[in-house]
Structure 1
């Protein structure tokens, strides 16, 4: 969804009208939490006066969103709050929820909402060290965006994955979903292929063999998806065959390409610690 779908406040709104560009530059950004909003959270007039004084205050707009009566007014308040603090995931989700309620046929907005909710769930389980190092799409977010799993499936699988990790029985997230029959092997293969393509398109350093091969054009997405599907099916039957060997057997790559990919992968893994 494009954010250029503002629901502007009308003249009878309790909040202030939109500011012109030259006025916005003179406004002061409030710290969060804002002391003024903490004192007057339920006082609509005080909140409006606070904004009229020239404060860019995400907390004030969020508080107003709880006080105004109309859905379109709440949407406008949340949009303004999100513009002031675009890193606030909870505000972004609230904005998308209101937007989808007003525009139920906007499939792109609905997809963004599913993705944002999935990211919020994943943040509770993802180790802190990786939150800053890897901004790529986790497979859970991709599968949720593809409507392959529900929010409940995502949270259940993450909880079980964490429990198994603590028991010394680690399992890949996608494999767990297949084993629990939450998704079909075809859906996981499609999601993993899309993940590799997204990372390659973003210029991220490849981490897996599939990402190396896709990024360098050695295999097509269709070839990779077929190989991943076979690997997943083998795994669910208790067998394991490396992806490289499956691709060799399919004739998608030759031994020279595979060896070079492994060498590059090893080189990048070593230099990451230098």
Structure 2
């Protein structure tokens, strides 16, 4: 009968360098993530290390660091798997978001941390971020509100591609947390009408248009790029509006 070990596991702490004892511990039926992690450091072959980390992650799927370690080794052995590489980037960004919270964000709405996401993706540094936030506040007081991401791109502090990736990741994080889609693009992605890659490409174009003084709705860009057709776009818009209205009933 299998038995789940606590984390940290006292047995593994005492014998983490003993390959035979660790294997015996697992052979006795212990479901021990720490034992598999310890084995991953002792085995020689990369595929063995990957197998150990995969087993450890399966035992404790909520351990973010363990999942990242597994994905890092997987991507090295399977560089052609672009989906795994994207999962790894997102997992690292989530971890960075949890660890990193600069002073200026402490009183901001945690559901829309686009600046924090950009920082987690290494797309902007702390100094530029704080300067942009201060400028954003000055513009707001002058009656000229501006989105933080647009301001960073306009000032050359981040690239349109980086902002588009951050916005797409923000939408995916909201969906993963069970948040109701707040924009048509989030609704289209939540319903599977567009992929994250399609949304990111459309956002890149929209951001570039914004910086040149032109404004085009994202839905029209998705339509022009062939990501959706008119029927899907109209139905999605109507359903999204209906869902948004009924949420207040």
Same fold (TM over 0.5): yes
- Give the structure 1 partner of residue 52 of structure 2: 77
**Structure 2 gap segments, 5+ residues each:** 138-145, 222-229, 231-236
1:184 to 142, 160, 170: 160
Question: Does the CA contact (< 8 Å) of 1:42 and 1:63 recur in 2?
Answer: yes
Of residues 30-39 and 112-121 in structure 1, the stretch that sits farther from structure 2 once superposed is: 112-121
Distance in 2 (CA, whole Å) between partners of 1:110 and 1:214 is 20
Question: Does the CA contact (< 8 Å) of 1:125 and 1:158 recur in 2?
Answer: no
- Give the structure 1 partner of residue 180 of structure 2: 205
Residues paired across the two proteins, number: 216
Question: Does the CA contact (< 8 Å) of 2:50 and 2:74 recur in 1?
Answer: yes
TM-score by length of 1: 0.55
- Give the structure 2 partner of residue 100 of structure 1: 75
Distance in 1 (CA, whole Å) between partners of 2:29 and 2:158 is 51
- Give the structure 2 partner of residue 38 of structure 1: 13
- Give the structure 1 partner of residue 32 of structure 2: 57
**Structure 1 gap segments, 5+ residues each:** 1-25, 144-148, 253-257
- The RMSD of aligned alpha carbons is 5.3
Distance in 1 (CA, whole Å) between partners of 2:169 and 2:134 is 31
Q: 1:70 to 1:169 in 2, by over 3 A?
A: same
Tell me the secondary structure at the aligned position of residue 94 of structure 2. helix
- Give the structure 2 partner of residue 48 of structure 1: 23
- Give the structure 2 partner of residue 157 of structure 1: 124
Q: If each structure's helix is expressed as a fraction of its own residues, which one has the higher value?
A: 2
Greater Cα radius of gyration, structure 1 or 2: 1
Deviation readout 1:184-218 (Å, 9 max, x if unpaired):
37x746874796699689974133576579889xx
Distance in 1 (CA, whole Å) between partners of 2:241 and 2:24 is 62
- Deviation at residue 121 of structure 1 after TM alignment: 1.9
- Deviation at residue 31 of structure 1 after TM alignment: 1.1
TM-score by length of 2: 0.59
